[in-house]
């Protein structure tokens, strides 16, 4: 609680100085996503990760990729720079006989002029070997089929209980 109050105080001061306050759309005060390296013209990346449950080392992250360029893009993989032994795998969720199961996706196509928005219950990045707390930032390195790479940092958000039901198939 003490830490929370300090954080809120710091945010209030920062907000007062800058003339604005920042808050995530789930109500937690948090920074947004930030591209930390060279961007790909016409391609906009955004996203967030879920915090891990106590004692758990797996979670999920959700990216949105907007492709305003003239060519289709294919997202082929995501790395977690700086986190040894941690992995981020592209998954989709399929319904088989009423049971929701996750499947590995080799790549994710983003047609020209389209946006792909990952979401709980759909396409997501499965994170293994991570411990994430709300308010932290998670660095990602996103690879595309043409060899281009975007590095960004996404905020870690609070888990909403019962919002996600993951069944590994």
Nearest CB to Cu ion, comparing residues 29 and 60: 60
Torsion of CA 30, 36, 42, 47, to 10 degrees: -30
Looking at 12-20, 24-32, 101-109, 137-145, which segment touches Cu ion (CB under 5 A)? 101-109
Among 72, 83, 86, 126, which residue sits at the site for Cu ion (rule: CB under 5 A)? 126
Site for Cu ion (CB under 5 A): how many residues?
3
Contact flag: residue 105 with Cu ion (CB under 5 A): no
Closer by beta carbon to Cu ion, 118 or else 152: 118
What stretch of H or E contains 148?
none
Q: Closest CB to Cu ion among 146 and 164? A: 164
Q: Count of CB atoms within 10 A of residue 111's CB?
A: 12
Write down the least CB distance from residue 164 to Cu ion, Å: 10
The residues, ordered by sequence, that sit 6+ positions from 29 with a Cβ below 8 Å of its Cβ are 7, 8, 11, 21, 22, 23, 135
C-alpha closest to that of 142 among 68, 72, 70, 39: 39
Among 91, 108, 142, 144, binds Cu ion (CB under 5 A): 91
Q: Which residues bind Cu ion (CB under 5 A)?
A: 91, 102, 126
């Amino acid at each position: 609680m003490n830490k929370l109050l300090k954080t809120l105080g710091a945010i209030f001061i920062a907000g007062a100085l800058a003339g604005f306050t920042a808050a995530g759309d789930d109500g937690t005060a948090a920074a947004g996503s930030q591209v930390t390296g060279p961007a790909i013209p016409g391609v906009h990346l955004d996203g967030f990760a879920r915090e891990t449950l106590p004692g758990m080392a797996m979670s999920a992250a959700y990216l949105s990729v907007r492709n305003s360029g003239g060519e289709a893009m294919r997202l082929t993989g995501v790395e977690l720079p700086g986190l040894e032994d941690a992995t981020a795998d592209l998954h989709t969720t399929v319904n088989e006989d009423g049971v929701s199961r996750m499947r590995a996706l080799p790549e994710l196509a983003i047609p020209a002029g389209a946006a792909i928005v990952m979401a709980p219950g759909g396409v997501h990045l499965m994170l293994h070997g991570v411990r994430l707390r709300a308010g932290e930032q998670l660095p990602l390195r996103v690879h595309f089929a043409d060899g281009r790479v975007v590095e960004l940092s996404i905020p870690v958000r609070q888990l909403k209980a019962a919002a996600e039901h993951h069944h590994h198939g």
